[in-house]
Amino acid sequence: MGCCHHYFANTPDGDGAFVADPARIVFGAGCLAEAGDHARASGMSRVAVFTDRRLRGLPYVETVTRSLAAAGVDCAVYDEVQVEPTDASFRKAARFAAEGRFDGFVSVGGGSVIDTCKAANLYSTHPADFLAYVNAPIGEARPVPGPVKPHIACPTTCGTGSEVTGVAVFDLVERHLKTGISSRFLKPVLALVDPVVAASLPATVVAASGFDALSHALEAYTAKPYTRRPRPADATLRPVYQGANPWSDAIALEALRSIGAHLVRAVRDAGDVEARTEMMYAGTLAGIAFGSSGCHIPHGMSYAVAGQVRDYRAPEYPQDKSMVPHGMAVILNAPSVYRWTAPGCPDRHLDAAQRLGADARGAAPGDAGEVVAGRIIEMMQATLFPSGLASVGFGDADVTALSEGAFAQQRLLTNSPRPVGREDLSGMFRAAMHYW
């Protein structure tokens, strides 16, 4: 049962089972050119290809569309996906999907593209009011009523993991926060992970997506165990985010080992093919891990940061609007969070830190939070990342609003290894303002 098997000890009202739902993945150089074969095998004849305008100008979309055409699959390209999508951009994409009467979907891009494609597929297949499927308490959290159309995801970044999860995340603009939709039905039927795409990624994008993957794996491994999650009245209603379990543990630990060894290299040198290939694989592994276990506080806090950004524009990202890229919003909170969560499972925090490359020799349980936080900060410094929330425009005056925004993310916060309240969040936000 992996490290700390006692972590999964049965509890009186907790669940006694977890779901292992393996993703179907094709990984390897050149596999994007196989999209047509896989689409045809999935029964697709008319496909919507989702991407964004920047990617439309790179060769990857053309590789996919040519493959589809060669396989006799008709396609229409939707290139109006917004980086860090909003409720409005999800709605616009859903209208395109509904009007096109497609029998399948292919996404070529990062998490924004893949998530937009998931949402368009959902609302065109099972029409409903927009907030119907959105996670509570922000939306109604209505269960997706059944399967959606087949979706092949082709990731072009190394860290979101969206290609192997049933989660679609967006900004709810009027409420200045991020939220999402979760359902196993949303998971793509296939991920085509071609590491060749990583060579064209700017350093800041590699860092942000890589840190997102790091925290996916670390949150999955340190999440509350599945045995402390209430047993569902209906076995088919086990949540997508189940809590840490032996399946997610094994995958998360391997992702952490690889990220610790390769992230800094991949950021510093676009020509380091080994490091960028390993990061593409590690990002997918981390996606599988958190797709089973779930994320917790760092992601919950990140949604408030992303929703309340004012003037920050990240280097090497689109400059047409203020934005803290998702992986950056996550990792800027992470050291503060892990210092706070460590007492909930110190041995897991120490184990994770060692997988990331920290020297934990002689560390006691009480040192766990500082060891893992120190290793993350070391990696942030090595990749020239911002030194805390203050570096992206926040200050102590923002703490109350940030805490309220994060507290709304109960789907994530309840997965924490320690119960977390508003005051706890406030303390973590304050501590995340400056790390060096």
Span 385-415, pLDDT tens digits: 999 999 999 999 999 999 999 999 998 999 9
- Angle, CA of 222, 367 and 300, to the nearest 5°: 35
CB 161 within 8 A of CB 286: yes
> What do you get for the CA distance between the two ends of the chain, in Å?
38
Predicted pLDDT of residue 237: 84
CB 219 within 8 A of CB 287: no
Burial (CB count <10 Å: 0-12, 13-18, 19+), residue 152: buried
Predicted pLDDT of residue 5: 65
Predicted pLDDT of residue 332: 98
Integer angstrom CA distances of residue 205 from 15, 164, 211, 335: 39, 20, 10, 20
Residue ranges, the chain, pLDDT below 70:
1-5
Predicted pLDDT of residue 3: 47
Burial (CB count <10 Å: 0-12, 13-18, 19+), residue 395: exposed
Q: Is the pTM of this model over 0.85?
A: yes
**Residue that the structure tokens 């100008």 belong to:** 57
Is 67 in a helix, a strand, or coil?
helix
Predicted pLDDT of residue 4: 52
**Residue that the structure tokens 């990624």 belong to:** 201
Whole-angstrom distance, CA of residue 372 vs CA of residue 356: 8
CB 170 within 8 A of CB 198: no
Predicted pLDDT of residue 318: 85
Whole-angstrom distance, CA of residue 242 vs CA of residue 245: 8
Span 291-323, pLDDT tens digits: 999 999 999 999 999 999 999 999 988 888 899
